[in-house]
Structure 1
Amino acid sequence: MVDATNGRRPPTLHDLARVVGLTANTVSRALNDRPGVNPTTRALIKAEAERLGYVPNVHARSLVLGSRKTIGVIVANISNPFFSDLVSEVEFQAEQAGYTVLLLLSYESADREREAIGRALRSGLDGLIAAPVQERSDAWTPVIRAGIPLVLVSRELPELSVDFYSTDNEAGIELTTEAVLARGARDVVLIDEDMPFSTIRLRIEGFRRSLEARGLPFDPRLNLALVPPPRSFRVSQSWHADDAHRVASDLLDRGRRPDAFVVGDDYYALGLYRALRERGIRVPDDVMVMGWGNHPFTRFMDPPLSTLLLPFQEVARRATSRLLDRIQHTADPEIVTERIVPELVIRASTSR
């Protein structure tokens, strides 16, 4: 097998053994954390393996032992409703095909993501579905070198030649922004995460384009209210309602009174509603509010929240189907990129 990233054959276990001057058996025991190897020697072998870009040939082992019938899913944190719904649907689709799912979490950490990738490689998984951290795409190079099928969801890494499935974030934000503009809004604020994700970048771009299409100015200082990232993704997510409440309160206390708010997640709308209510600002009489996600609680809000129904299940279904086709060598070789347009749900929060 030739390494498609540089045209050279990837290093084998025997190559690594020759470099460190030890037997292949000793090197294998060290890499798999088995007893009988001095800690200093183990550390040396692992460091040299990383330097050389050595990846265990798990697929060759699978040819002997048979497929494990297991796929891995790497996401940031399942407390995020998008990821929890995604994982649930991937697991359902995989189970229908006779596969089990190994869930691995990155907590939005590049280091944790590398650890998760390493564990996936050592586990001999048949394939991976992942929502990457997006800091560095080279973390995924060992997966591609090992010949393990990889499908990305939600967050894109264009430099990697792999299949990708996502909600169409630009089309979605254009739907929500146009909905309030069509109802008379001329001053609109977008509340979203202050995180370096392609999903957020696309939403901001779609929001800007929607305003300018109506001949309205876009000024990030006036039209954007970004929620700072949390200190720990183990405990909190930046889409939590209390974070949005703080940002919205600060904006309102500085005298900003837009005609409408468009938010990047329904949880933001919860915090925004409270900030507005505390200041006697009525929804939708004084300001319209448009959500994102159609979470179950949105129809019970007062007033019920207009929002966007995201195609969680369809993204997961298509991604899983594509991955299984790749694993079973039934997929066409062409790389697929699909962005699925979400559906607008109009309720009382935008009715005037």
Structure 2
Amino acid sequence: MADVGNGRRPPTLQDLADAVGMTANTVSRALNDKSGVSATTRALIKAEAERLGYVPNIHARSLVLGSRKTIGVIVSNISNPFFADLVSEVELQAQQAGYTVLLLLSYESAERERDAIGRALRSGLDGLIAAPVQERSDAWTPVIKAGIPLVLVSRELPELGVDFYSADNEAGIQLTTDFVLAQGAKDVVLVDEDMPFSTIRLRSEGFRRSLERHGLPFDPRQQLALVPPARAFRVSQSWQADDAYRVVSDLLDRGRRPDAFVVGDDYYALGLYRALTERGLSIPGDVMVMGWGNHPFTRFMAPPLSTLLLPFQEVASRATRRLLDRIGGTADDRVVTERILPELVLRASTAR
């Protein structure tokens, strides 16, 4: 039993039977709530199954029949453009390798994430790519115990010890902040979402480091404008321009007049533009604005928005190739962590 449930070999029905000292038939009947098994025995078997990470039903049968040639993808919401691009690239790469993709959504809910993980396990997937909610890493323990290859993207859970691929959020925000500072900005504000994600934490840290490297103080009460996550669990776009509009309008109405904004998403820049122009401030004459994401609408804004091109296609491609290598048994033993540098796209909103 030493190699069971630790990522080397998924536990089998016989492993579970051996662990509880009963026959495989008794264990199977207990797991499927069949008659002839006492409530005490059934509870004992189910508790041991959870401890071992034993996954019955479809996944267990797939271990006997062989690969189902299916990859699962768990992300928060495909109305998020980043995840939409990522899922599209994973599907393309998987299809070329002969795999289909099962998409499951968490909507930034830990409860829905657990449900998605359970459905993925019951579906007998060969592997999973996921952007976790990041509330509790133990939700992913059943995946690890079942020996199912898991690759994380965008949001990190280092304690799981699995492969991870992401855009380099800390370096990216330093690129945007360094640029507006080089253009003469002295007072810069970061507009980002108020959520406990590693991506947001890294952007805040990179922003702070950029200011300090240029000899400027960092006061989160003055330099951070956080957008409340009121829409985080809705099916619609999480980053609403009107939320950023309200936050920036309040900041400006309190007398703050920064000479540059950098944002955590291009959608925030839409609301930011309106808040500035309503108060007679010109872009970039009075205030420079730097985006994040290079969404298609940015070049049609007035003025066109300088922004950051995120390498999500490359992130998805590398993550999918790594997962397929894990599934095929050709991956090396090391745990890979890769953060890929974004690229500045310069337009008129920062031209001075």
Same fold (TM over 0.5): yes
Deviations 1:284-305 (A, max 9, x none): 0100000000000000000000
Aligned-partner residue type, residue 2 of structure 1 = V
- Take 2:77 and 2:151, find their aligned partners in 1: how far apart are those partners? 18
* Partners of 2:59 and 2:121 within 8 A in 1: no
- Residue 159 of structure 1: SS of its match in structure 2? helix
Aligned-partner residue type, residue 306 of structure 1 = S
Shift of 1:62: 3.1
Aligned-partner residue type, residue 25 of structure 1 = S
| Structure 2 CA distance for partners of 1:276 and 1:47, relative to 1, 3 Å | farther
- Take 2:292 and 2:212, find their aligned partners in 1: how far apart are those partners? 21
What is residue 316 of structure 1 aligned with on the other side?
A: 316
* Partners of 1:27 and 1:45 within 8 A in 2: no
Aligned-partner residue type, residue 29 of structure 2 = T
Aligned-partner residue type, residue 65 of structure 2 = L
* Partners of 2:73 and 2:129 within 8 A in 1: yes
| Structure 2 CA distance for partners of 1:147 and 1:266, relative to 1, 3 Å | same
2:6 to 4, 7, 12: 4
Shift of 1:157: 0.5
Aligned-partner residue type, residue 154 of structure 1 = S
- The runs of 5 or more residues in structure 1 that have no matched partner are none
- Take 1:267 and 1:15, find their aligned partners in 2: how far apart are those partners? 56
1:14 to 14, 17, 22: 17
What is residue 113 of structure 1 aligned with on the other side?
A: 113
* Partners of 1:193 and 1:238 within 8 A in 2: no
What is residue 274 of structure 1 aligned with on the other side?
A: 274
Aligned-partner residue type, residue 4 of structure 2 = V
- The runs of 5 or more residues in structure 2 that have no matched partner are none
| Structure 2 CA distance for partners of 1:189 and 1:324, relative to 1, 3 Å | same
After superposition, residues 22-33 of structure 1 pair within 5 angstroms as 23-30=26-33
What is residue 55 of structure 2 aligned with on the other side?
A: 56
What is residue 223 of structure 1 aligned with on the other side?
A: 223
2:299 is aligned with 1:296: no
Deviations 1:297-343 (A, max 9, x none): 00000000000000010000000000000000111111110000000
What is residue 84 of structure 1 aligned with on the other side?
A: 84
* Partners of 2:73 and 2:87 within 8 A in 1: yes
* Partners of 2:231 and 2:238 within 8 A in 1: no
Shift of 1:240: 1.3
* Partners of 2:306 and 2:349 within 8 A in 1: yes
Task: Give the percent of matched residue pairs that are identical in Structure 1 and Structure 2.
Answer: 75
Deviating more after overlay: 280-289 vs 58-67: 58-67
- Take 2:45 and 2:235, find their aligned partners in 1: how far apart are those partners? 32
2:349 is aligned with 1:346: no
What is residue 193 of structure 1 aligned with on the other side?
A: 193
* Partners of 1:10 and 1:53 within 8 A in 2: no
Supply the RMSD in Å over aligned alpha carbons: 2.7
- Take 1:150 and 1:273, find their aligned partners in 2: how far apart are those partners? 40
Aligned-partner residue type, residue 299 of structure 2 = R
Shift of 1:56: 1.3
What is residue 257 of structure 2 aligned with on the other side?
A: 257
The number of residues matched between the two structures is: 344
* Partners of 1:16 and 1:54 within 8 A in 2: no
- Take 1:37 and 1:346, find their aligned partners in 2: how far apart are those partners? 71
2:148 is aligned with 1:148: yes
What is residue 213 of structure 2 aligned with on the other side?
A: 213
Shift of 1:28: 3.6
| Structure 2 CA distance for partners of 1:101 and 1:107, relative to 1, 3 Å | same
Deviating more after overlay: 60-69 vs 156-165: 60-69
| TM-score, length basis structure 2 | 0.90
* Partners of 1:129 and 1:150 within 8 A in 2: yes
Shift of 1:232: 5.1
What is residue 335 of structure 1 aligned with on the other side?
A: 335
* Partners of 2:129 and 2:152 within 8 A in 1: yes
- Residue 32 of structure 2: SS of its match in structure 1? helix
* Partners of 2:107 and 2:235 within 8 A in 1: no
Aligned-partner residue type, residue 239 of structure 2 = W
- Take 2:232 and 2:342, find their aligned partners in 1: how far apart are those partners? 30
| Structure 2 CA distance for partners of 1:90 and 1:36, relative to 1, 3 Å | farther
* Partners of 1:59 and 1:146 within 8 A in 2: no
| Structure 2 CA distance for partners of 1:161 and 1:46, relative to 1, 3 Å | same
Shift of 1:51: 5.8
| TM-score, length basis structure 1 | 0.90
| Structure 2 CA distance for partners of 1:155 and 1:183, relative to 1, 3 Å | same
- Take 2:49 and 2:178, find their aligned partners in 1: how far apart are those partners? 50
Shift of 1:52: 3.6
Shift of 1:54: 4.0
- Take 1:46 and 1:243, find their aligned partners in 2: how far apart are those partners? 50
| Structure 2 CA distance for partners of 1:51 and 1:327, relative to 1, 3 Å | closer
